[in-house]
Structure 1
Amino acid sequence: MATTIDILFLLPPLTILLLTIITFTFPHRSQITKLPPTPPRLPLIGHIPHLAGKLPHRALAGLARKYGPILHLHLGQVPAVLISSPPLAGELLKVQDPACADRPDSIGIRILCYNNSDIVSSPYGGYWRQMRKICIIEMLSSKNVRSFCRIREDEVARFVESIFASSAAGESPAVDVSDRIFRLTSSVVSRVAFGRAVGGRDELLGMIDTALTMAVGLELPDIFPALSAAARVLSWNERRLRRLQGKIDGVLDGILEEHRRRRSGEFGGEDIVDVLVRVKDSGDLQFPITDDHIKAVILDMFSGGTDTSSTTIDWAMAELMRNPSAMAKAQVEVREAFKGKKTIQESDIIGLKYLKLIIKETLRLHPPVPIIFRATRNECVVDEYIIPEKYKVLINVWSIGRDPAYWQHPEAFQPERFENSSIDFFGNNFEFVPFGSGRRMCPGINFGLANIEFPLAQLLFHFDWKMPDGKTPDDIDMTEGNGIVVSRKNGLFLIPTPYNSS
């Protein structure tokens, strides 16, 4: 797939000249005084070359280290502000919330999410408040998350049994733990959303993952809005994304049609589509919702609920393998807690304190979504700098979680750093905001944690893990992949040895 930079330099000379004239004839608010400092930039394309060939969160962290914790960037014609320190993040997310509670608009997300009808990308306002309220009260409250425990327990039991079977068969001693974890979380989310693991689930998730990767790229219409019509003609990626979204839409239409015929969740309760259809049919809404709105929320559930949870478990297992003392300490804890139990339930993991420290430390080092994207609804003042209305704001959660001014040995995996610490991830400690903060904070924290804690505890209880022959923990590839959710690029292959608890 050609990148924006590749396409840009292939444009005819007259088009480049036209873009240059537009850029300098209609300067955006770069002339406003008291804007944050700006690193050196190129005419026309601004700071885009700083991002070329690098993962965005790492490239932006490098800029912040060199030029400061608050920067004014130019992504083509689009102005943005980068925030890379806890105090400034707190000022923006708490003091200036809701003045900075919008999401940046983009062609790709608009196409994929049914004209921003989902919860994640919809503009701040009445519709967003209505849908978030439905999400929290009807679907993702602590009570509702607990009601899905039988689904998680059933899927995790199958997950563990499949690893036992692979170990007993001896066909291949190494198990692709990454793939097993992803399939587990996708099955849980599928059953929670639809009442069962739907057919074609893996294909749907693959298409959603591909579409999200395409949708968050820097498209010509996004970085040169003054030339939007001409730029869209040259945007090959947009045409591909529209075709892919059409396929996703067809799959979701079939799922909704089948679900309406069945209309019953597992274990006699409501699944998430039940809830959305019931609310839609009630008519008691300030902003009526359609099937497209339901499909947009389902996309949020699948993309957020599957990738973020599976990615966190995978990073945790990789870090534990590279830190055997932490692995041993975690296994002693879970095996002591589960001793003598023939069946392990979610309620059994409540007291696993060290397990929770491991998850915190994993989220610090590897936040699933490393950059929070916001947009200003009104002018904001942060650290005496002005952020004008309708500016993009990028908060580098990854960089903040590794800030040596707030974390000792920030690159080291040390779960003990959270022991006897009041720091949590519920949006009040701005040196640690993997789920965001303020009004746009992730509404699915309880659901995500439930999908992380129980499977990870079972992996640690039932199996001892070692590297394939000829490999050491130092050989584990910690390279990050690209996308909104940053997972490990390659699979984690480990050899499981069943633990005899008798």
Structure 2
Amino acid sequence: MLTIAVIFFIFALVTRWYFLQPINKNLPPSPPKLPIIGNLHQIGPYPHDPSLNDLTQRYGPLVLLHLGKVPVLVVSSADAAREILKTHDVIFANRPKYTSFEKIFYGCKDVATAPYGEYWRQIKSICVQHLLSNNRIHSFRNVIAEEVALMIEKIKPFVVSSSNFPIDLSDVLCTLTNDIVCRIALGRKYSDEWEGGSAGGRKFRKLLGETVELLGTFNVGDYIPWLGYWV
């Protein structure tokens, strides 16, 4: 009986996927999709993966993909991008709600992840007035200059040295950004502590690493909602 119930459930999902989708003849070209997962199997592990280029070469500058239940428009021409980002920017101004964003940013309440609307306009105005005004940015100038100078001193031995010892610039620039943000927002930086091996510094770096990892982690529930309860 359990096997029959599972087969019936899968059959119902496939039927719903194929026959209950809204019909719209004005949609861009789209590659054939599989039940439930859509075109997820055609996407590589990275955004710059050549699979997207291959699809645009085959279907044109506008390609509609279905990542599970989420429609995604792939734009690969300057003219189409101009239409979307400039002419029809309000239509495309909204942001998707991801599970990681909702949990880390308190239900997408920050300016980077909040849905487009009156609330977003209000917090954007607050950010521009209190964080991004000319006077405020000028007040951060000394902090930014000091941290950039320290970064240059840190990498100078590797640049002037005749050895081919590698340096991880991604880590250096990430540390620079974190130091500037922490000094501006918290009045202190934590890189010296985690490089020195203090418990507080290690904990702070671990939290930063976990936050960045969660922001970039693929969550199957964002694309196949019913599967999110089981995975």
User: Same fold by TM-score, threshold 0.5 exceeded?
Assistant: yes
| Separation in 2, partners of 1:101, 1:169 | 48
| Separation in 2, partners of 1:79, 1:21 | 19
Q: Deviation per CA, 1:135-168, whole angstroms, max 9, x where unpaired?
A: 1121023432222111112112222333456789
Secondary structure of 2:15's match? helix
1:125 Cα deviation after fit? 1.0
> Cα RMSD over matched residues?
2.9
Correspondent of 1:79 among 53, 71, 93: 71
| Separation in 2, partners of 1:41, 1:33 | 17
| Separation in 2, partners of 1:57, 1:176 | 21
Correspondent of 2:127 among 123, 135, 146: 135
- The structure with higher relative contact order (CA 8 Å, sep 6+) is 1
* Residue pairs, 1:3-402, within 5 angstroms: 16-27=10-21, 29=22, 31-51=23-43, 53-58=44-49, 59-164=51-156, 173-198=165-190, 199-200=200-201, 201-214=204-217, 217-219=218-220, 221-225=221-225, 228=226, 231-235=227-231
1:45 Cα deviation after fit? 2.2
Supply the AA of the counterpart residue of 1:177.
L
1:131 Cα deviation after fit? 0.8
The 1:79–1:184 alpha-carbon spacing in structure 2 relative to 1, beyond 3 Å, is closer
**Is residue 143–residue 180 contact of structure 2 (8 Å, CA) maintained in 1?**
yes
The 1:143–1:86 alpha-carbon spacing in structure 2 relative to 1, beyond 3 Å, is farther
| Separation in 2, partners of 1:140, 1:54 | 35
Secondary structure of 2:74's match? strand
| Separation in 2, partners of 1:80, 1:181 | 31
| Separation in 2, partners of 1:46, 1:172 | 47
Supply the AA of the counterpart residue of 1:204.
L
The 1:101–1:107 alpha-carbon spacing in structure 2 relative to 1, beyond 3 Å, is same
**Is residue 103–residue 122 contact of structure 1 (8 Å, CA) maintained in 2?**
yes
Q: Percent identity?
A: 34
| Separation in 2, partners of 1:49, 1:150 | 49
Normalising by structure 2, we get a TM-score of 0.79
Secondary structure of 2:48's match? helix
The 1:111–1:18 alpha-carbon spacing in structure 2 relative to 1, beyond 3 Å, is farther
Supply the AA of the counterpart residue of 1:76.
G
| Separation in 2, partners of 1:168, 1:25 | 66
**Is residue 37–residue 224 contact of structure 2 (8 Å, CA) maintained in 1?**
no
* Residue pairs, 1:416-435, within 5 angstroms: none
| Separation in 2, partners of 1:154, 1:89 | 38
Supply the AA of the counterpart residue of 1:233.
Y
Q: Deviation per CA, 1:411-458, whole angstroms, max 9, x where unpaired?
A: xxxxxxxxxxxxxxxxxxxxxxxxxxxxxxxxxxxxxxxxxxxxxxxx
Supply the AA of the counterpart residue of 1:55.
Y
> How many pairs are equivalent?
214
1:37 Cα deviation after fit? 1.4
| Separation in 1, partners of 2:135, 2:72 | 39
**Is residue 23–residue 77 contact of structure 1 (8 Å, CA) maintained in 2?**
no
- Which residue in the other structure is 2:193 paired with? none
**Is residue 167–residue 173 contact of structure 1 (8 Å, CA) maintained in 2?**
no
| Runs (5+) with no aligned partner, structure 1 | 1-11, 236-502
The 1:224–1:138 alpha-carbon spacing in structure 2 relative to 1, beyond 3 Å, is same
| Separation in 2, partners of 1:168, 1:61 | 40
The 1:79–1:147 alpha-carbon spacing in structure 2 relative to 1, beyond 3 Å, is same
The 1:163–1:48 alpha-carbon spacing in structure 2 relative to 1, beyond 3 Å, is closer
The 1:223–1:94 alpha-carbon spacing in structure 2 relative to 1, beyond 3 Å, is same
| Separation in 1, partners of 2:161, 2:48 | 42
Q: Deviation per CA, 1:373-406, whole angstroms, max 9, x where unpaired?
A: xxxxxxxxxxxxxxxxxxxxxxxxxxxxxxxxxx
The 1:174–1:70 alpha-carbon spacing in structure 2 relative to 1, beyond 3 Å, is closer
1:72 Cα deviation after fit? 2.1
